Structure 1
Amino acid sequence: MAPDRKEVEITDEVTAINRTVKLLKEKGIKVIVVLAHDSAKSDQSGANSSGAIDGSKNR
């Protein structure tokens, strides 16, 4: 990684989205839209090894 990018932490996108959805719901946010890119590791259905995004379900 470039020296000027040490402050950037690369994490699993599903984990990051789930964590952020939880925080937003706690703040009263009712509508959340996630725009994500399917990585080359995803299969044709869009699933990946880290599982489904929890916030995508109606609750």
Structure 2
Amino acid sequence: MFVHLMEELDKAALDLVRGRKVDEHFLEVFRIAGFIEVEKGEIKVKKSLFKFLELPAN
């Protein structure tokens, strides 16, 4: 079950990086983990999310 959850988090993180809509529950997880900031409805992705995905930050 843990592996399935991590796969879903990976998919949601990739969707977020690609600018796609992400379920609000995943957004809350990413916010709590410190991967994103939400200001005035705008989502700002932090470099730590790229490290989580093992992708180079742009």
TM-score (norm 1): 0.35
TM-score (norm 2): 0.36
Structure (1/2) with the larger helix percentage: 2
Larger Rg: 1
